[in-house]
Structure 1
Amino acid sequence: MLQKKYILLLIVTLSVASLFGQNTKILSREPLNIFKNEELANRISVLKNDKRVLKPNFRYLDSVKIEQITYLSDGLKVKGYLSTPLFGVKHPSVIYNRGGNGEFGSLNEFKAVFILAKVASWGYVVVGSQYRGNVGSEGVEEFGGEDVNDVLNLIPVLKELEKADTSRMALYGWSRGGMMTYLTLTKSCEFKAAIVGGGLSDLWKWMETRNDTIETVYAKNIPNYAINTKEALNARSAIQQVDKMCKTTPVLMLHGTNDLSVVPEMALDLSYEFLKKKIPHQLILFKDGNHGLSEHRTEVNYQTKQWLDTYLKY
């Protein structure tokens, strides 16, 4: 009889452990050594007495931790990055949405340091996904299809982090990441704010202004693109999805007037639709700014921080 009780106890214990494992989204966390990459190390630091010392502009890295993570999204193991402030107890959360497709534009040590860690140093827990099918992630890239779930599934990832306050969350995306941000807002109103830089919001206009996208992006990444073109492009274009978009999440739109990758007309057209549908937003156009607004980085950081602080730190 005693032996049966032990067997029963073992079964119950295993069942609880199995259930806990199923509910856990974060599968692994590996600290990033920012000095391991020699090119990155030379960008952010100098050697003094055989020790790396951060340059003044990068001293914010002393206040944050950067990790590479693997998490579950629709049963797939997906890669990403996480940056957490070393100070404080609880912080608002930001989901950063990368641009590009496939390996192009993927998150790496540089973006983790220059973007995710920078935002984290302002007092935010920041997490970003590579999206399925990319950089060792399971699944297949869909360029705004089912991979939007890889963004939504970062919400339970954040809920597992002690320092993350998920009652105050924001989205921050650039280029294709802007598309992912807009599409996420058609599926969730959990976010207090959103920021989009050089946002891809009209795939029809992108095809007109960048005909190289048809073969290199659409046909390559969008499932059944050849036989489902209209539905596929409309479903991924924020300009066609405004009616479904959350009307309580204020959006900051940043775009360069000399953006040759994603023309500024996309931001103007979407802003007009936002006005008609009373979606709160602010559009800032940077004169002669390129796609990454690289020559306006100080102002971009200022506007981004102000927007986050306004809506998440109250």
Structure 2
Amino acid sequence: MDFISYKRMPADLGTHQVDEVRYDAAGITVRGLLVTPKHSVERIVVYLRGGKGQVGRVRLGRMLQFTNTSTLVFGPYYRGNNGSQGRDAFAGDDLQDVIAGVEILKKMYPNVPVHLIGFSRGGIQGLLTFQAVQAASYIIWGGVSDMHLMYEERVDLRGMLRRMVGHPKKLPEAYQQRDALSMIDHTAPPILIVHGGLDEQVGIHQAYHLAKHLEAKQVRYDTFYQMGEGHIPRPKALSEVLQRIHSWMDEVERNK
């Protein structure tokens, strides 16, 4: 198992090579961005983007926030986006794009810890896949943890959700399939919850809801709340978040 093709991207980085890759995900050819250290790979971070279409698309600058000289970062575009075949299903069949990408990386770099980071919409993508891919840890950042809560709080997104997922009353099974919390138990890898108290895109009650569930299921988790920040932290707060994420991954690997 390997990526189907690599397309070198015009990024002049001294420590990493940047490629757009194509790969098979359950019979669909999808794409993602791969940032690979030029020397040894000692950590893999899979960045699960937020948004839809061009909103929240995978960007190199974002991925570089999670690198060091020995960290590989991969960001799947999701099917139906940026040249990937298929149709984006918002935590439906597109979950295979995450799983297949991680499986390829694990085969290429066996015994290297894999951490998932899910931002915004990527939060639910990660919650539904981090156990399946046996991630070392999962970081959910300003992330959706409950689709019903998202439907209720984001009136402006209800039309999009009805098109992509369905109406929660008319298609309850579609929302049940995306009920990540019901699938998480005490065997789950550790989770770091990052959220801004002033987040208007994904309310912080999504984080509280997740934390309460993890507590009940005796899952190891920690929180990093920035009560004065919104969906995207300001520069100083962003630096603090990234420091916490890097230290979290270090802690998890030390305590493995």
What TM-score comes out, normalization by structure 1 length? 0.75
**Cα displacement (A) at 1:92:** 2.0
**CA pair 105-26 structure 1, distance change in 2 beyond 3 A:** same
Contact 2:148 2:168 (8 Å CA) reproduced: no
1:153-195, Cα deviation, whole Å (9 max, x unpaired): 012321453xx3444111111011111010113534x111111
Q: Is the 8 A contact 1:81 1:128 kept in 2?
A: yes
The alignment status of 1:152 with 2:103, answered yes or no, reads: no
- Is this contact kept in 2: 1:201–1:238, CA < 8 A? yes
Identify the residue that residue 33 of structure 1 maps to in structure 2: 10
Q: Quick check: 1:178–1:198 contact (8 Å CA) kept in 2? A: yes
The aligned amino acid for 1:117 is: L
Say whether the 8 Å CA contact 1:25–1:156 is kept in structure 2: no
Tell me the amino acid that sits aligned with residue 153 of structure 2.
Answer: T
Q: C-alpha distance in 2, partners of 1:167/1:90?
A: 8
Of the three residues 161, 174, 184, the one matched with 2:129 is: 184
How far has the Cα of 1:143 moved from its partner? 0.2
Q: 1:97 to 1:246 in 2, by over 3 A?
A: farther
Q: Which residue of structure 2 lines up, in the alignment, with residue 42 of structure 1?
A: none
SS for the counterpart of 2:192 is: strand
> Which consecutive residues of structure 2, in runs of 5 or more, have no partner in the other structure?
none
Q: Shift in Å at residue 285 of structure 1?
A: 0.9
Q: What's the CA shift string for 1:265-307, capped at 9, x where partnerless?
A: 1101110111010011111110221112244110111011111
SS at match of 1:279: coil
Counterpart in the other structure of 1:82: 34
SS of residue paired to 2:210: helix
- Identity fraction in percent: 26
Aligned residues: 254
Structure 1 position 238 matched with structure 2 position 238: no
Q: 8 Å contact 1:204–1:233 — kept in the other structure?
A: yes
2:195 alignment partner, SS class? strand
Q: Tell me if 1:94 matches 2:6.
A: no
Deviation at 1:145, TM superposition (A): 0.7
Residue matched to 1:128:
75
Q: Is the 8 A contact 1:27 1:69 kept in 2?
A: yes
Is the 1:179–1:199 contact (alpha carbons within 8 Å) kept by the matching residues of 2?
Answer: yes
Alignment pair present for 1:298 and 2:236: no
- Which of 255, 261, 272 aligns to 2:212? It is 272
Q: 2:195 aligns with which of 255, 270, 285?
A: 255
Match of 1:312 in 2: 253
Structure ID, larger Rg: 1
User: Quick check: 2:131–2:188 contact (8 Å CA) kept in 1?
Assistant: no
Give 3-state SS (helix, strand or coil) of 2:14's partner: helix
Query: What are structure 1's unaligned runs of at least 5 residues?
Result: 1-23, 36-60
State the Cα distance separating 1:227 from its structure 2 match.
7.2
Specify the code of the residue in structure 1 equivalent to 2:148.
Answer: W
- Which deviates more from structure 2 when the two are superposed, residues 166-175 or residues 139-148? 166-175
* Aligned-pair CA distance for 1:117: 2.6
Structure-2 change in CA distance of 1:301 and 1:122 (3 Å): farther
Moved more, 291-300 or 137-146: 291-300
Structure-2 residue corresponding to 1:56: none
User: What is the alpha-carbon distance in structure 2 between the residues aligned to residue 227 and residue 266 of structure 1?
Assistant: 21
The amino acid of 1:279's aligned partner reads V
The CA distance in 2 between the partners of 1:231 and 1:186, in whole Å, is 21
| Counterpart residue type for residue 231 of structure 1 | E
Give the one of 60, 68, 76 matched to 2:20: 68
The change in CA–CA distance for 1:178 and 1:266 in structure 2 (over 3 A counts) is: same
Structure in which a larger fraction of residues adopt helix: 1
Tell whether the 8 Å contact from 1:182 to 1:245 is kept in structure 2 after alignment.
no
Which amino acid in 1 is paired with 2:219? I
**Aligned CA distance change for structure 1 residues 83 and 231 (closer, same or farther; 3 Å):** same
TM-score normalised to structure 2 length: 0.91
Q: Does 1:116 align with 2:63?
A: yes
Q: Which residue of 2 aligns with 1:106?
A: 57
CA root-mean-square deviation: 2.1
* Structure 1 CA distance for aligned equivalents of residues 110 and 252 of structure 2: 13
Query: Can you list the C-alpha shifts for 1:236-285, whole angstroms capped at 9, x where unaligned?
Result: 2434x2x4456341001100000000000110111011101001111111
Q: Deviations over 1:35-55 (max 9, x none)?
A: 7xxxxxxxxxxxxxxxxxxxx
Aligned-partner Cα distance in 1 for 2:4–2:254: 30
